[in-house]
Amino acid sequence: MSETVLGILASGRGSNMQSILNNISSGRLHAKIGIVISDHANAKVLEIAAVAGIPAVCIERKNFATKQEFEAAIAAEIVNHEVQLVVLAGFMRILSGYFIGLFPGRIMNIHPSLLPAFPGLNAHSQALTYGAKVSGCTIHFVDEGVDTGPIIMQQAVEVLPDDTPDSLAERIIKVEHALYSKAIGLYCDQRLSIEGRNVKIIE
């Protein structure tokens, strides 16, 4: 079986991308990263890609007159590198219906809460403010809403009485790193089927 080509979109430090890369290197994930795209020139994820010898490019929104032109430039890189699955790894922009329509059922995202609870920004602060006793992370396919796409996998993490947003984030991201590669692996093995809002895992 040929390796599934991933396209990583990330805005920051790239910890999820590093974890995916580690799992590829160890043989736990049968895929390869074809391109890394960031919307910030100083994003650490670009340094990680450079060290690993992975093609990487910075595409900044400010260089384009419209959001669609910006997204078209990203899409062109994805197509040029023959990407099969677009992986959002801390990409801090909401993708439009135009972009999502180019890659239907082929864009995956990870969010640090148990969706549909606490979507959008500052999920850890939302959970603590609400008084939640359990949070966690969710991996889902991307649709036109904010963190509303069909859920692939979730894992719970207990919220401790003395948690801060940072301490909760630190525990959840460890779960994220393991779970994201599992979900990507299921996609690579053609074991995911989207049926309306439900994602079936094929045994």
Active site residue 81: no
Q: Is the peptide bond prior to 116 cis by the omega test (within 30 degrees of 0)?
A: yes
- Residue 157 sits at φ, ψ, to 5 deg, of -135, 130
- Residue 89: both structure tokens together: 């790894």
Count of Cβ atoms closer than 10 Å to residue 63 Cβ:
10
Per the CB < 8 A criterion, the answer to whether 109 and 142 are in contact is yes
30, 40, 111, 140: the catalytic one is 111
Per the CB < 8 A criterion, the answer to whether 3 and 181 are in contact is no
Report helix, strand or coil for 8: strand
Q: What's the CA gap between 67 and 12, in Å, rounded? A: 20
- Residue type present at position 104: P
Per the CB < 8 A criterion, the answer to whether 100 and 144 are in contact is yes
Instruction: List active site positions.
Output: 111
